[in-house]
Amino acid sequence: MPLVTTEINDGIAQVRLNRPDKLNALTLDLLRELVATAKTLGKNHDLRAVVIAGEGDAFTAGLDFASVLRDPKKVVGAFLPVPFRGTNLFQESVWAWRRLPVPVIAAVHGHCLGGGVQIALGADFRIAEPDSQWSVLEGKWGIIPDMTGIRSLSEVVGIDTAKKLTMTAEQFSGERAYELGLVTELSADPVATATAFARRLSERSPDQLAAAKRLFNDTWYGPIRRTFSRERIEQVRLLFGENTKIAREAAFKREKPTYKPRR
């Protein structure tokens, strides 16, 4: 049985962590499947958005230590970064979703602990149940979030809050996560809300969405002049693109646009 499943309907990929009997706890094999799934989806130019969630009663309870530490040699291998990519297996299982040129929405219910928080932060948006349970749990085990979590936390909360969550490993609700800025929106049915949002996004030009994601991700902490330069480059590409023409003509005619595959 696959540890990560994917179903695509109308250009929206529904990706699921699929170890419901273990609260979708993360193993090395599951992390590899996450990377492979993101890589495969990135080649699909008809893809418009991704909703990632967990099967069963949780998003994910975090790392399955019993499984992962069973073979220390594999753990060492998983820590080694891939040349030219700059990430190891743990990091790429999250950052691969940042590389994906479409919006990614995490739909969180139940437990979202440790590596689960980091996977959720790897998405562009997070929609969660108010009573979902969150924790940067690594501190409980005497370690730190190392699946790109330090960078991701710095993007959504202040440095004091990031330090507090990391150092205390406190557990808090989805409602509190929303107040802190970890969650984009609260919903009693995160998957349905995330899917509806994905459909809204799919009404926009896929080239515009990809350009916006690239710009924000690549320049958020960059020098201002570099940001301005990237804005100009992306905009010139869009101005002369076919999907931009389709969007413009549909807007003038007040019609629903039908876009070509992502450039």
* DSSP structure string for 194-262: HHHHHHHHTTS-HHHHHHHHHHHHHHTTS-HHHHHHHHHHHHHHHHT-HHHHHHHHHHHHT----PPPP
Rounded Cα gap, residues 15 and 146, in angstroms: 23
CATH topology of domain 4-202: 2-enoyl-CoA Hydratase; Chain A, domain 1 (3.90.226)
Rounded Cα gap, residues 4 and 102, in angstroms: 19
Task: Considering only residues 141 and 126, tell me which one the structure prediction assigns the higher pLDDT.
Answer: 126
DSSP letters spanning 19-62: -GGGTT-B-HHHHHHHHHHHHHHHT-TT--EEEEEESTT-SB--
Burial of 56 (0-12, 13-18, 19+ CB in 10 A): middle
Model confidence at 225, in pLDDT bands (50, 70, 90)? confident
Rounded Cα gap, residues 128 and 81, in angstroms: 31
Return the sign of the alpha-carbon dihedral for residues 162, 163, 169, 172. negative
Across the chain, what does the average pLDDT equal? 95
In the block, which residue shows the tokens 């690239």?
Answer: 214
pLDDT score recorded for residue 132: 98
> Is residue 223 pLDDT above 90, yes or no?
no
In 88-201, which ranges are E strands? Answer: 104-108, 111-113, 125-128, 133-135, 172-173, 185-186
pLDDT score recorded for residue 227: 85
Model confidence at 75, in pLDDT bands (50, 70, 90)? confident
Torsion angles phi and psi, residue 183, rounded to 5: -110, 140
Rounded Cα gap, residues 105 and 200, in angstroms: 12
Ranges of each domain in the chain: 4-202, 204-253
Q: Let me know: does 149 contact 111? Beta carbons within 8 Å.
A: no
Rounded Cα gap, residues 211 and 102, in angstroms: 9
Residue pLDDT, tens place only, 137-192: 999 999 999 999 999 999 999 999 999 999 999 999 999 999 999 999 999 999 99
In the block, which residue shows the tokens 């996450």?
Answer: 34
DSSP secondary structure code for residue 183 in this structure: -
